[in-house]
C-alpha cells in the first residue's frame, strides 16, 4: 500500500496525470483517506453491491452463502436508477448526464 501511495504521488508530481479533476481527487485521497487493504476491499464490495445480486456478491468476496456479512452492504444498496433520480431531483445532476452514463454502460467493450 505504501508503494501504491508513493507511485500515485509521483504521477501527480511529474504531471503525468493531466486531468485536473482527477488530480484533485487523487490529492484529496492521498492526504485524507486511510490507505490500507481493508478500505480498498470495503469500497470495492460497496461498489459491487450496486449491480451484483446477493449470491454473486457473496461468491465474489468468498463469504459463505449463509453468512450475514452481506447484509452490511446489501441493505444499503440503492440501484443506480434510484440514485440518479434523487440526484436529478435535487439538481445535482442533469438528465443529459444520466443519458451519457447509460449510453456508456450500454456500449460493448473490446
pLDDT in the model for residue 110: 44
The more confidently predicted of residues 110 and 43 is: 43
pLDDT in the model for residue 87: 78
Considering the entire predicted model, what is its pTM? 0.48
31 with 48, same domain: the answer is no
18 with 7, same domain: the answer is yes
73 with 42, same domain: the answer is yes
Answer yes or no: is pLDDT of 90 > 70: yes
61 with 47, same domain: the answer is yes
41 with 73, same domain: the answer is yes
90 with 102, same domain: the answer is yes
Instruction: Give SS3 for 78.
Output: coil
101 with 83, same domain: the answer is yes
Q: Which residue, 45, 41, 40, 43, is CA-closest to 56?
A: 45
Structural domain containing residue 92:
78-110
Answer yes or no: is pLDDT of 60 > 60: yes
Residue 49's Cβ-count burial label (10 Å; 0-12, 13-18, 19+) is buried
2 with 17, same domain: the answer is yes
- Tell me the pLDDT band of 62, cut-offs 50, 70 and 90: very high
Task: Look at the chain and report how many structural domains it folds into.
Answer: 3
Give me the residue label for grid cell 468476496: 61
Answer yes or no: is pLDDT of 94 > 60: yes
Amino acid at each position: 500500500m505504501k508503494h501504491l501511495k508513493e507511485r500515485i504521488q509521483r504521477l501527480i508530481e511529474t504531471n503525468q496525470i493531466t486531468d485536473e479533476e482527477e488530480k484533485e481527487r487523487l490529492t484529496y485521497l492521498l492526504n485524507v483517506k486511510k490507505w490500507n487493504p481493508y478500505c480498498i476491499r470495503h469500497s470495492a464490495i460497496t461498489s459491487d453491491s450496486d449491480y451484483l445480486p446477493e449470491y454473486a456478491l457473496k461468491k465474489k468476496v468468498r463469504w459463505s452463502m449463509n453468512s450475514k456479512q452481506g447484509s452490511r452492504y446489501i441493505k444499503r444498496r440503492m440501484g443506480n436508477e434510484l440514485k440518479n433520480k434523487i440526484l436529478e431531483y435535487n439538481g445535482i445532476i442533469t438528465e443529459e448526464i444520466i443519458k451519457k452514463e447509460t449510453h456508456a454502460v450500454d456500449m460493448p467493450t473490446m
